[in-house]
Amino acid sequence: DIQMTQSPSTLSASVGDRVIITCRASQNINTWLAWYQQKPGKAPKLLIYKASSLESGVPSRFSGSGSGTEFTLTISSLQPDDFATYYCLQYNSYSPELAFGGGTKVAIK
């Protein structure tokens, strides 16, 4: 099984900060990675798929990059609505075995 390791597990930031979250895969997953945002008591929201494709309706301050085993989610200028937990999700076009990372909680500094 492919393991996904996210870092940091928590981070404190201020409105306007640039925030970077990292996700590492235990083996090469090409660009088969998505990013989700979840707020307490709510369903997750898809932000990025295929490592860098912005889902429709998602603000452009969110961006994703990476390939192979290392990926990043960047929030260019943190907004009040962005305080949430973020999860990466690895997938594969051939094998339907998806795995989420452990999550990164973005808190107010």
Partner 1 sequence: QVQLVQSGAEVRKPGSSVKVSCKASGGTFNNHVISWVRQAPGQGLEWMGGIILMFGTSNYAQKFQGRVTITADESTNTAYMDLRSLRSEDTAVYYCAMSPPSCSTVSCYARMHFWGQGTLVTVSS
Question: Which residues of the shown chain bind partner 1 in the complex (CB under 8 A)?
Answer: 1, 32, 34, 36, 38, 43-46, 49, 55-56, 87, 89, 91-103
Shortest approach of partner 1 to residue 44 CB, angstroms? 6
Q: Is the dihedral of CA 74, 76, 83, 16 positive or negative?
A: positive
Which residues are paired to 88 by β-bridges? 35
Shortest approach of partner 1 to residue 16 CB, angstroms? 28
State which H helix or E strand residue 25 sits in.
strand 19-25
Closer residue to partner 1, CB minimum distance, 50 or 61: 50
Closest to 12 (Cα-Cα) out of 72, 83, 69, 67: 83
Shortest approach of partner 1 to residue 96 CB, angstroms? 4
